[in-house]
């Protein structure tokens, strides 16, 4: 694949551009381009690198007459119209392992935060109160953690929370029960998973099958007081339904790092964030120095691999629409 010019449309670690330039690929960094300007300029590039801010819509792709690759420095590709890219024979790739540890560690931190009311207790103490009884929590040991999505992140979460003494159950349509058993997760269909969980964490992409996956119907069959964690994608957890469950006591707490609208302005979402039993963070799953370097390097390595010019880089494991390559 002939890739000579790359547009980096969102800020990524300098390791990305350095590696591309080292392999004789010209790089332009133009951040936060208005959509009209992106459409006007995209025809001049063979590849586009984005994070989550830039929306690569069908009209952007249609204008990209020379575009061969869209690289997502991160995991989720819901800001990219993959169908339009496939129809226009543009490869879409992500960096599936680059932020796995960072997202996993944030998930584990949020689980322990919910168990021990850390955020609320800290805010109370800073406000001059000493409320030990009010913020008494409970142990994680002996509790059941349900993990929906048993890929890289879900697996790492399972391993770490097992060390806390949690029982781990999970569901993922892509892997088998035997594969889940290899890292001590009991594989269950969703209808059997909901009523057993003390905590539920989601680690799936946002696709039609996962949109509003955690909703009133699911929450109603959970244990009273179940706690919800979402460090995956906004839209997987129905925010209005979780808010209702918090108000009724059916949900005992929620830790949410991602929202359907970012930054959130929807009144329901803002009420959810403000709820006393919610720990909310501004999409920090991949926000570590290590993850940012890792995804920057991984996206550039895969683009270089597609050129076939450097024997050191031959694999592109993050390709989403591999049929584009197979049919060309």
- Catalytic (active-site) positions: 233, 262, 283
DSSP letters along 35-51, please? HHHHHHHGGG-SEEEE-
Token code pair at residue 167: 């029982």
User: Using the 8-state DSSP alphabet, how is residue 241 labeled?
Assistant: H
Report in angstroms the alpha-carbon separations of 23 from 50, 150, 298.
20, 35, 14
Half-sphere exposure of 39 (CA within 13 A, CB side): 9
110: exposed, middle or buried (C-beta count within 10 Å: 0-12, 13-18, 19+)?
buried
Token code pair at residue 51: 């994070």
> Which of 83, 39, 80 has the alpha carbon at shortest distance from 59?
39
């Amino acid at each position: 694949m002939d890739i000579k010019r790359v547009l980096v449309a969102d800020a990524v670690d300098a390791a990305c551009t350095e590696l591309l330039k080292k392999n004789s690929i010209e790089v332009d960094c133009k951040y936060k381009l208005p959509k009209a300007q992106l459409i006007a300029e995209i025809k001049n590039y063979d590849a586009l690198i984005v994070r989550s801010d830039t929306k690569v819509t069908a009209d952007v792709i249609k204008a990209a007459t020379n575009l061969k690759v869209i690289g997502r420095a991160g995991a989720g590709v819901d800001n990219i119209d993959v169908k339009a890219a496939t129809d226009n024979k543009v490869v879409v790739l992500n960096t599936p392992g680059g932020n796995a540890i960072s997202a996993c560690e944030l998930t584990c931190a949020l689980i322990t935060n919910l168990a021990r009311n850390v955020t609320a207790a800290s805010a109370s103490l800073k406000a001059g109160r000493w409320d030990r009884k009010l913020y008494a929590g409970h142990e994680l040991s002996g509790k059941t953690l349900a993990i929906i999505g048993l890929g890289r992140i879900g697996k790492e979460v399972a391993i770490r929370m097992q060390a806390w003494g949690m029982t781990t159950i999970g569901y993922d349509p892509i892997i088998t029960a035997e594969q889940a058993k290899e890292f001590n997760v009991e594989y269950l269909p969703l209808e059997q998973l909901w009523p057993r969980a003390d905590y539920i964490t989601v680690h799936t992409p946002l696709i039609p099958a996962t949109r509003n996956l955690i909703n009133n119907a699911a929450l109603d069959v959970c244990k009273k007081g179940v706690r919800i964690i979402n460090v995956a994608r906004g839209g997987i957890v129905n925010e209005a339904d979780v808010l209702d469950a918090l108000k009724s006591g059916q949900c005992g707490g929620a830790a949410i790092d991602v929202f359907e609208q970012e930054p959130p302005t929807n009144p329901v979402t803002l009420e959810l964030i403000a709820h006393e039993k919610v720990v909310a963070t501004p999409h920090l799953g991949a926000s570590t120095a290590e993850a940012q370097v890792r995804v920057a390097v991984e996206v550039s390595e895969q683009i270089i691999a597609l050129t076939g010019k450097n024997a050191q880089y031959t694999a592109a494991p993050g390709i989403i629409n591999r049929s584009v390559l197979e049919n060309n």
